[in-house]
Amino acid sequence: MKQLISDIEIIPHNVHTNDSVDKHVLSKNTYTGKSRKLFIETYGCQMNFSDTEIVTSIMREQGFDTTDNPDAADVIFLNTCSIRENAELKVRNKLQYFNALKNKKPSLLIGVLGCMAERLKAKLLEEEKTVDLVVGPDAYRDLPNLLAEADEGHKSVNVFLSREETYADINPVRLTGDGVSAFISIMRGCDNMCSFCVVPFTRGRERSRDMYSILTEAKHLFENGYREVTLLGQNVDSYKWATPEGNTIKFATLLEEVARIHPDLRVRFTTSHPKDMTDDVLHVMAKYENICKYIHLPAQSGSNSVLERMNRSYTREWYLQRIHAIRDIVGQDCGISTDLIAGFCNETESEHQDTISLMNEVKYHFAYMFEYSERPNTPAAKKLHDNVPPEVKNKRLKEIISLQNQHSLQINKKEIGKIHKVLIDGYSKKSSEQMRGRTSQNTTVVFPKGNYQKGQYVFVKIHDCTQGTLFGTVV
Q: List the domains of the chain with CATH numbers.
A: 5-158 (3.40.50.12160), 326-414 (3.30.750.200), 419-474 (2.40.50.140)
In the prediction, which pLDDT does 87 show? Answer: 86
pLDDT of residue 2: 28
Cα-trace Rg, the chain = 22
Residue type at 120 in one-letter notation: L
Dist CA 80 CA 59 (whole Å): 18
Task: Give the span between the Cα atoms of 417 and 8, in whole angstroms.
Answer: 31
Whether the bond into 32 is cis, omega within 30 of 0: no
Angle at 232 between CA 226 and CA 235, to 5 degrees: 160
Q: How far is CA 61 from CA 56, 68, 218, 306, in A?
A: 9, 19, 22, 48
**E strand map for 320-387:** 335-342, 366-371
CA distance 467 to 411: 8
Paired with 79 in beta bridges are 42, 113
Phi first, then psi, for residue 75 (nearest 5°) are: -135, 135
**Per DSSP, what are the bridge partners of residue 296?**
337
Query: Which pTM does this prediction carry?
Result: 0.89
Instruction: Write down the pLDDT at residue 391.
Output: 98
SS3 content of the chain, % helix, strand, coil (to 5): 35, 25, 40
* pLDDT (tens place) for every residue of the chain, 475 residues total: 222 222 222 333 344 444 334 444 444 565 555 679 999 999 988 899 999 999 999 999 999 999 999 999 999 999 999 888 888 999 999 999 999 999 999 999 999 999 999 999 999 999 999 999 999 999 999 999 999 999 999 999 999 999 999 999 999 998 766 899 999 999 999 999 999 999 999 999 999 999 999 999 999 999 999 999 999 999 999 999 999 999 999 999 999 999 999 999 999 999 999 999 999 999 999 999 999 999 999 999 999 999 999 999 999 999 999 999 999 999 999 999 999 999 999 999 999 999 999 999 999 999 999 999 999 999 999 999 999 999 999 999 999 999 999 999 999 999 999 999 999 999 999 999 999 999 999 999 999 999 999 999 999 999 999 999 999 999 9
Nearest to residue 139, comparing CAs of 202, 65, 215? 202
**Strands laid side by side in the 75-80 sheet:** 64-66, 36-42, 75-80, 109-114, 133-135, 156-158
